[in-house]
Amino acid sequence: MSSTRPLLSVLVPVYNVAPYLEQCLDSILSQPYSCLEVLVIDDGSTDGSGALCDRYAERDQRIRVVHQTNAGLSAARNAAMDLMQGEFFTCVDSDDWLTEDAFSAPMSYLEANPLVDVLELGYIEVNCQTGEERPVLAQGAEFTSEEALRHLADLSGVTGMAWGKIYRTETMGRLRFPVGRPYEDTPFVFEALARAHRYRYLSWLGYHYRIARSGSITESYDGRIVYLFENLLDLRPTIEVLQADYLPLLHETLYRRLLIFSLWAMRHAQTAPGLLPLLLPYTKRLRSLSYPKGSQADRLRRRLFLSFPRLFLSIKRCTGHRPYTVWTSN
C-alpha cells in the first residue's frame, strides 16, 4: 500500500489478556491497509501480556509499546492518544479482534469525504460461552452531528461504544476518556459526535466483539453502573462550551439510559439486589434539566418517570411491560 495514504493510529489498551492478545495483534498487523501505527499500552499486566507486547514490537516496527502502572482502561487509552501521530485513530480492545479487511473501505471513504469526522463500522458479536457469532450490521447512513447525537440519545442506531469507530484526529482536539471510573465509552462518543461535522455509518463488518467473557464488566450490572450517569453529568460543562444547544440531547441520553437500567434492575431484583435504590436518586437530579421537545407522549412518560419513578415502574410491572434490550457496552 502506498505510503501516501493517511496514517491510522490503532490504540490498544492491554491488561491481563494473554489468552486473547495474539489474535488481537495479529488481526491488526495483517490488515491490507498497512499505513498504521499501533500504540499498545500495557496497563500493569501481571499475566505475561506485557512481555508478549514487547515480542510483537521487536517483530514489527509499526508497534510502539508503553508499560505503565495499572491506572485503568481510560488512562491507558489516553496515554495512547497523547502519543498518536495519525491523521485518524481507532480503538481496539485487546480481547477483541478485527476482520480480515477492516480498514480499506472506511479509510477510502474518509479520504473522499473530509467533513466526516466519525465513521462507525458494523461488527460481529462473538459469544465466548457458546461460540455463536452474530453479525450486527445496519444500512449505511450519514448524519449531521446533531442528528447523530439524537440517534445516540435514543439508542436508535449510533452506538455508545468507543471501539468500532474511526475518528479524525484534528477535529477531535483534546478529547479524552474520563479517568478513574468505568462506563467511559458513551461520554467519550457523545463528545466526539459533538465535535464532529458529520457522522457516517458504513455498512462494513470490521470488528469482532467478545461477549459473555468471564471477568468482563459488561457481562453483569451492579452498582458500578452509576458511573455511567456520573460520567455523563460531568460532561455537561464541556458540552456547554462546545455546543450548548446539544445539552438537551445529553440530558436525553442520561434519561433514556436511566429508564432502561431502572427497568432492568426492577426485573432482576433477585439477582441484582440493591441496584434499583442506587439508580432512583438520579431521577431527582435529572428532573429539572432541559430536554428535546419530543412528542407529547414522550414528555408525559419522562415527567412521570422522573417525578414518580416507583409508581412508573410499578405500572410497568403490572402491565407486563416488555423489557428493553440493555446494551452490553459502556
Q: Please, where in the chain does CATH 3.90.550.10 lie?
A: 8-218
Closest CA relative to residue 36, chosen from 64, 14, 75: 64
**Does residue 139 have a pLDDT over 70?**
yes
CATH of 8-218, picked from 3.30.470.30, 3.90.550.10, 3.30.300.30, 3.40.50.880, is 3.90.550.10
Residue 220 pLDDT level (bands cut at 50, 70, 90)? low
Q: How far is CA 176 from CA 75, 80, 186, 219, in A?
A: 9, 10, 12, 25
| % residues pLDDT > 70 (the chain) | 93
Q: Which pTM value belongs to this model?
A: 0.93
Taking residues 227-239, report their average pLDDT: 98
| Paired strand residues for 264 | none
**Does residue 87 have a pLDDT over 60?**
yes
| Per-residue pLDDT, 13 | 98
Mean pLDDT of the chain: 93
pLDDT digits (tens, 9 = 90+) for 155-214: 998 999 999 999 999 999 999 999 999 999 999 999 999 999 999 999 999 999 999 766
User: Using CA atoms, how far apart are residues 148 and 192, in angstroms rounded to an integer?
Assistant: 11
**Does residue 226 have a pLDDT over 50?**
yes
